[in-house]
A and B are shown apart, each in its own frame.
Chain A
Amino acid sequence: MVSSISLSIDSDLDKVSLLARAVRALCEDLLGPDDQDAVELSLVEAINNVIKHGYHGERGKDVQVAVGLQADQVVIEVIDHAPPMPAQVLDKAPEDTFAFDEADLADIPEGGMGLALIRMNMDEVEYHSGDSENRLRMVKRIAPRSQ
């Protein structure tokens, strides 16, 4: 089975949960509850990043999400027309984000965790920026059903 759907929202943080819940529902038959959680969180983090950092919180910009349901994987692409993510953000290893010293209050992160969470929750994460759009491609593989 291969099917795909495109969804879009206005760049408004209040609308992100609506889209995330819709995509979660699309994955219900293919992924177990933990993997649905992983997809929902990754998608929310990806869209929040676009709205907060790409569009600087400005409403009225578009955020598109393409969902591909395949036999062995779910592919989710978040497409925006904001300035691209800076290279230093993309280069940071996810484990470094959470290697803080819990005994030192000042060292515990309050932000900058989104991309690390996406990388830890998805099986593949790729970012492409072209002339007119950025595309974050996230893949969750479907675990084979145990008999």
Chain B
Amino acid sequence: MLSTDLRDNILVVRVEEKRIDASKAPAFKDEMTRCIDSGQNQIVLDLSYVDFVDSSGLGALVSCLKRLGPRGSLAVAGATGAVSRLFTLTRMDRVFVLHPNVDAAVEQLSA
């Protein structure tokens, strides 16, 4: 469900599913955990293809953030509509930095 691309030592992870919900969250978390455990600690998560995230999906993101630990960073790019509003509503926009697109996120992380 994920595709990855390394840009300036930053791992760009694109979610290739329309929905990250309770049925998809475990697989999402497993694949992300593999990326993190392979040594990546600067990750941009591209959600531009995703149009629905529920609390299970959001919880999986938080779990990835905890796995990365305080030295890592997980930025979110391309969240729009319902996905972007979920971050605001749950105040998770204070936890994940939201960027309009991958380029902006990579630029910010590599600065």
Q: Using a CB–CB distance below 8 Å, which chain A residues touch chain B? A: 13-14, 16-17, 33-34, 37, 40-41, 44-45, 48, 51-52, 98, 100, 102, 105-106, 108-111, 113-114, 117, 120-121
In whole angstroms, what is the CA distance A106 to B67 when docked? 11
Closest chain B CB from A80 CB (angstroms): 15
Whether A108 pairs with B58 at a CB distance below 8 angstroms is no
A-B interface, 7 closest residue pairs, ranked by CB to CB distance from nearest: A37-B82, A113-B55, A13-B23, A110-B59, A102-B94, A48-B22, A98-B91
Whether B23 pairs with A14 at a CB distance below 8 angstroms is yes
Whether B58 pairs with A113 at a CB distance below 8 angstroms is yes
Whether B59 pairs with A113 at a CB distance below 8 angstroms is yes
Chain A, residue nearest B90 (CB): A98
User: Contacts A37-B85, A98-B90, A113-B55: A108 and B66 contacting too (C-beta < 8 A)?
Assistant: yes
**Which residues of B have CB within 8 Å of A121?**
89
* Interchain Cβ contacts within 8 Å, total number: 74
Q: Decide if B39 is an interface residue (CB 8 Å cutoff).
A: no
Give 15 new A-B contacts, CB below 8 A, not counting A102-B94, A110-B59, A111-B55. A13-B21, A16-B21, A16-B22, A17-B21, A37-B85, A40-B52, A48-B21, A52-B22, A98-B90, A102-B95, A106-B66, A110-B66, A113-B55, A113-B58, A117-B89
**Which residues of A have CB within 8 Å of B69?**
105
Whether B66 pairs with A105 at a CB distance below 8 angstroms is yes
Q: Using a CB–CB distance below 8 Å, which chain B residues touch chain A? A: 19, 21-23, 52, 54-56, 58-60, 62-63, 65-66, 69-70, 81-82, 85-86, 89-92, 94-95
Please classify the interface of chain A as helix (H, G, I), strand (E, B), loop, or mixed, using the class held by over half of its residues.
helix
Whether B55 pairs with A114 at a CB distance below 8 angstroms is yes
Chain A, residue nearest B82 (CB): A37
Most-contacted residue by chain A among B54, B66, B81, B90 (CB, 10 A)? B54
User: Contacts A48-B22, A102-B95, A117-B89: A108 and B62 contacting too (C-beta < 8 A)?
Assistant: yes
